[in-house]
Structure 1
Amino acid sequence: MRPRLSIEGGAVRLEGPLLFVRRTLEAGLNEAVEVSGSDGRSRLGRIAALDEQHMTIEVLESPDGLALADTVLRLRGAPLEFALGPGILGRVFNGIGEPVDGGPPLPARVLQPIDGLPVNPVERALPRDFIETGISAIDLMNSLVRGQKLPLFSCGGLPHDRIAVDIATHARLRGGSDDFAIVFAGIGVPFDSADFFRRSLEKSGALARTALFLNLASDSSTQRLLTPRFALTAAEYLAFEEGRHVLVILTDMTNYCEALREVSSSKGEVPGRKGFPGYLYSDLAQLYERAGCLRGRAGTLTQLPILTMPSDDIGHPVPDLTGYITEGQIVLSRDLDRLGIHPPVDVLPSLSRLMKDGIGGGYTHADHPALANQLYAAYARAVQARVLSSVVGDDGMTPVDRSYLAFGRAFERELLHQAAARTLEASMETGWRLLAGLPEGELTRLSDAQIAAHLRGRR
């Protein structure tokens, strides 16, 4: 760490939350700085860009009151760090890790750089073991595994905030382990959404096992870029220092990406697709790749980033690049939402690539994989039958096709829709009951033993 250095009167331009300063001293990229003006108030910032003559400072708090002539910069000689220690769970922070719940400051046990430390790929372990979310469409058909990064793709107006709170409230490990924790980050959210998150977690009691970070839509775009980094740094501390299994919920990552576009434009960088910077992929990867399991460490870090697809376009750069980095996707459907299905998860385009490593014998139930495969196949056939029905009508369909139509309606009404959280066992029971309505010859993904054990007594 360098000694602290000061620059006085070197500011040449202030553009939104970006301060452009003449470079008169050696400084490092991402180095933390303190910015103060004639009002005497110190504001946290960091160096976002450097060239031979100038440096660009991201001011993380309101720049109101700063005047170029009397602005003073104090370089800390180190990157931004988060002081972490016992007692982080049950606390509420703003987007840059400052407590906003009226409680005492955190006891600082360690200082962690918010950009994380590089992990040797050889030290990574294969994600395994099941996390129960309480949502049947996820637990039964797109299972979440410890150490996985599994995004949720939503659309404007869909109830992803409610789903995020439901998962934060009901997610648990199999066996009732108490070393499970939630890190919940609201990124660029309106005040009413932030209030909903906080009140819901308090009411359910889930806040006691949660570290809640809230970056409001009224906060600066530069602060928005740091909120997931502070949240993930807290999660890494809980996972790899305290040995907990941590689920990180980040909502809404589209707000993060739009803030990145805004800051990039202010820096004068060449825009890429839809105005986003060319490094959007690598920037997102720096966040998502902080999930995982490490050899020799008891804890794990699992990510569930939530994003809204602009214009419902899954090919938009934000969901498109997110899909390349992560290990699947949970897709919400506007059509299911119109039918009153909650949560409106469309299971056909949804996928969990690591599901096979965390379910089955020794993890959930030996028949879980076969049941999920059969439900997928039957629902896909039901969707095809609906298309056929719209052309020829129900009277022109075979009895088998009509049984699939009935299955599709029941699948959406009884399995996808749920008024309360379900255990995996309850979800599987519902799945078996629905399959009992199909002809036995159609159940090609199940063995004879599975049909005999779970279905023949129901017919």
Structure 2
Amino acid sequence: MSGFADVEYTGVRELRGPLVVVEGVCGVGWDEFATIALDSGERRHGLVLEVDRDLAVVQVLEDTAGMDRTGTRIAFSGTPLRIPVGAGWLGRVCNGRGEPADGGPPVLGATDTAVAGAPINPVRREPPNEPVLTGVSAVDVLTTLVRGQKLPVFSAAGLPHLELAVQIAAQATCGGEAFAVVFAGMGLTHADASFVRAGLAERSAARELVLLLNTADDPVIERLLTPRIALTVAEDLAFTEGRHVLVVMTDMTAYSEALREVSAARGEIPARRAYPGYLYSDLASLYERCGRIRGRPGSVTVLPVLTMPAGDITHPVPDLTGYITEGQIVLSAEVYAVGTYPPIDPLASLSRLMRKGAGAGRTRADHPDVAAQLIAALARSRQVRELADLIGRSALSPTDLRHLDLEDAFRQRFLTQATDENRPLDDSLDRAWDVLLTLPRSQLGMLPADLLDARQAGAQKPGEAP
């Protein structure tokens, strides 16, 4: 954090929630970092949200509780907030502002970087084309995560989205290449924060993890800073250190509500459901920081997790997130109600870049065909189930009954797995084959005949070289 500049301002006009309005300023710019000194000797920090002539609105990272107008001095650094970057972040647990929460020393680095980041030149962007394997069958086979992709998880209250996020963060790999995870938790309860720390302890001990935890009782402004610090650290680990980095950000709904609260404190005109009109561009400024850069090693892959209030996928946060990102993994209350984990709805989930990262030389040659056939079979199974509810199971044809059996087999043999079960991709694909072969061959028209022959003959694994 920056220290004092030469000039300190004492003209505090107003304290309003997390904001301080300072008058009489000169030469202060937007997003500039500020240090705030209280009469008690305490120091706090802030960022400039708005400048109008000689007035500056500063958002205080530690909130304004205990501050008074007459005993406050504010100094502006002349630059945006910068943090040290480098491999020193690996293995550390910090709060949402990047300050140590593990009892260790402050994180140091040879260089520092602006938290706001820098946009990637579109001409230098490399298209994502290699997988990030998570060890979760439904993700790896049906909605493959690709290096450089942004793929959100849509959940609802009461569903185990945090468990899934921790499992993916603990198990994800890039096929033996240098890899790291940056986990940003926002608005977590203390119980959830403890769960995250315990679930990722092994990866943290291996110095493959950066953990930033903002709890629900931390200042709301800190929640806006947490994902930006996480992405700044990830960009350096990827494009300077040469690692493939997965950034898990949960919960983006808590982040958006913090943005709404600050917007209301600023007196801005609200848009949909009282969120600020710039919610779309603000979310895009986070999600679009993923990718690969031509000529540089490493990649940044973003997995945002968000809860849909009342399960409403048209709510502004999931709605706008869907416009920006490349697909979604949707968790289903109906699937969870029958005791299945992870409760992923395969027909509502989609990875638009999956075919760029799956297939021969990347996962397995039969992967795209198996995934497409399984989705088609599940769609038919759902239609049959709805038909059975109308006319009764006894009126269904033998083929329809086989589709109902496939739906049960999918849930029991493929979808269900333990929260600490790291399933290899070959095992997941073999399970998908076992589910598909509950259908007669006439219903598997999307699979090449040679793959079916090889599988049914029990020869080599489909997709493997003879």
Give your verdict on TM over 0.5.
yes
Identity %: 47
- The equivalent residue for 1:80 is 81
* CA displacement 1:240-284 (0-9 Å, x = unmatched): 110000000000000000000000010011100000001000000
CA RMSD of aligned residues (A): 1.6
Structure 1: distance between partners of 2:206 and 2:341: 23
Is 1:300 the counterpart of 2:299? The answer is: yes
For 1:63, the equivalent position in structure 2 comes to 64
1:336 aligns with 2:335: yes
After superposition, residues 187-202 of structure 1 pair within 5 angstroms as 187-202=186-201
Q: Which residue of 1 aligns with 2:393?
A: 394
1:8 to partner: Cα distance: 3.1
Residue 156 of structure 1 aligns to a residue whose secondary structure is coil
Determine helix, strand or coil for the equivalent of 2:200.
Answer: helix
- Residue 51 of structure 1 is matched in structure 2 by 52
Aligned partner of 1:359 in structure 2 is: 358
CA contact (8 A) 1:38 1:67 kept: no
Q: Quick check: 432-441 or 47-56, which moved more?
A: 47-56
1:5, distance to aligned residue in structure 2 (A): 4.4
* 2:42 match: 41
Indicate conservation of the 8 Å contact 2:45/2:60, yes or no: yes
Q: 1:98-177 counterparts in 2 under 5 A?
A: 98-174=99-175, 176-177=176-177
* Equivalent residue, structure 2, for 1:350: 349
Q: Which residues in structure 2 correspond to 1:249-268 (within 5 Å)?
A: 249-268=248-267
Aligned position for 1:228: 227
State how far apart, in whole Å, the 2-side matches of 1:421 and 1:173 are: 14
- Could you tell which deviates more after superposition, 414-423 or 344-353? 414-423
Does 15-24 or 351-360 show the bigger shift? 15-24
Return the alpha-carbon distance in structure 2 between the equivalents of residues 384 and 270 of structure 1.
45
Aligned length: 456
Q: Distance in 2 between matches of 1:147 and 1:425?
A: 23
CA–CA distance in structure 2, aligned partners of residues 198 and 3 of structure 1: 35
Please report how far the alpha carbon of residue 386 of structure 1 lies from its aligned counterpart in structure 2 after TM superposition. Answer: 0.5
Could you tell me how far 1:421 is from its partner in structure 2? 2.2
**Are the counterparts in 2 of residues 8 and 70 from structure 1 also a CA contact under 8 Å?**
no
Shift of 1:207: 6.0
Where structure 2 has 5 or more consecutive residues not aligned to the other structure, the ranges are: 460-466
Residue 451 of structure 1 aligns with which residue? 452
Query: What SS is found at the alignment partner of 1:348?
Result: coil
Looking at structure 2, the residues matched to 38 and 333 of structure 1 have their Cα atoms a distance apart, in angstroms, of 53
Amino acid at match of 1:143: T
Bigger CA drift: 207-216 or 313-322?
207-216
In structure 2, the partner of 1:183 is: 182
Q: Distance in 2 between matches of 1:260 and 1:88?
A: 26
Displacement of 1:13: 1.1
Counterpart AA for 2:57: T
CA distance in 2, matches of 1:133, 1:83: 29
The alignment partner of 2:246 has SS state of strand
**Alignment-derived partner of residue 4 in structure 1:** 5
The answer for the alignment partner of 2:371 in structure 1 is 372
Whole-angstrom distance in 2 between the partners of 1:101 and 1:116: 26
Q: Give the whole-Å Cα distance in 1 for the aligned partners of 2:217 and 2:144.
A: 35
TM-score by length of 1: 0.97
Cα distance in 2 between the residues matched to 1:437 and 1:404 = 8
Shift of 1:120: 1.1
The one-letter code sitting in structure 2 at the alignment partner of 1:87 is G
The secondary structure found in structure 2 opposite 1:48 is strand
Q: Which residue of 1 aligns with 2:280?
A: 281
CA distance in 1, matches of 2:206, 2:21: 40
2:265 match: secondary structure: helix
Query: 2:25 & 2:444 partners in 1: Cα distance?
Result: 73
Runs of 4+ with deviation above 4 angstroms: 203-207
1:173 counterpart SS class: coil
| Segment drifting more, 369-378 vs 15-24 | 15-24
Conserved? CA contact 1:2–1:78, under 8 Å: no
Residue in structure 2 matched with residue 403 of structure 1 by the alignment: 402
**Residue 216 in structure 1 maps to residue 177 in structure 2:** no
- Cα distance in structure 2, aligned partners of 1:207 and 1:196: 18
**Displacement, 1:457?**
4.3
Which secondary structure does the structure 1 equivalent of 2:142 belong to?
coil
Q: Aligned equivalents of 1:2 and 1:188: distance in 2?
A: 28
| Distance in 2 (alpha carbons) for counterparts of 1:242 and 1:309 | 36
C-alpha distance in 2, partners of 1:41/1:58? 17
